[in-house]
Chains A and B, each alone.
Chain A
């Protein structure tokens, strides 16, 4: 399984044995561990706050070849420069 983590404008893949239907809380906890420990390339934050991924979204998607992937990413609510307006 590939877990893709996006944090502070960087994104990287982490390969691990993981149930595709693992809970969002489990995925956030795994992400916190691997980013904090430096196990994921280019994304080492030793003092990462435990709540760093609170509010992040877990997407379970299949790649074009059909292989399952899990994405942990920030929310993307916006398309406009002023929230609550009509257009984005």
Chain B
């Protein structure tokens, strides 16, 4: 199975790192580049700075665990912004889509493209104050908008433990789906994680 992970920032890069042992091919989609400030909360290192995030995550998996065919995970990077015009190409051949985007418009664009192709889609999402996160399958998910455009969140690494928890829950949901097709939702708070569906 090929799994496309859309958005490789805090949540996406963390989930990617925890999906490295799954028997899948990973396709990473992100148009953004790694900046030094990203290192506090995203699964990147100094050598990643300046690189496209999807490509930086692919390189990091290869450097840490080996390239495809040499013991490492099979990963391809797509350094583009997902839009209606390229969704068919980005989602082609995938059995699962994973939404780690950081804004409602991108989430909606991905959801529309996935629904049009009957492609299973799971969303990962964080509250701005780092106290709460959700992993929910598309049939039970409605994207929330920011309170104001450009609202900052999770900067400086203060919320890294919560990002780790939500990323782990998302990786677990992916793992369950790959294993037997189950679609579990998770709710993550400062006091723990619970399965809500």
Q: A residues engaging B (CB < 8 A)?
A: 6, 8-11, 55, 57, 59, 61, 63-64, 71, 73-88
- Chain B interface residue count: which class? 35 or more
CB distance from A68 to the nearest CB of B (A): 13
Report the nearest A residue to B143, measured CB to CB. A77
The one of B129, B150, B155 in contact with A84, judged by C-beta atoms closer than 8 angstroms, is B150
Report the nearest B residue to A63, measured CB to CB. B197
Q: Is the interface of B mostly helix, strand, loop or mixed?
A: loop
On whether the beta carbons of A79 and B100 are closer than 8 Å, the reply is yes
Cβ–Cβ < 8 Å partners of A77 in chain B: 102-104, 125, 128, 143-147, 151, 153
Q: How many Cβ-Cβ contacts under 8 Å join chain A to chain B?
A: 162
On whether the beta carbons of B102 and A80 are closer than 8 Å, the reply is yes
Known: A78-B102, A79-B100, A87-B12. A55 touches B146 (CB 8 A): no
On whether the beta carbons of A88 and B187 are closer than 8 Å, the reply is no
CB distance from A22 to the nearest CB of B (A): 18
The one of B6, B37, B42, B128 in contact with A78, judged by C-beta atoms closer than 8 angstroms, is B128
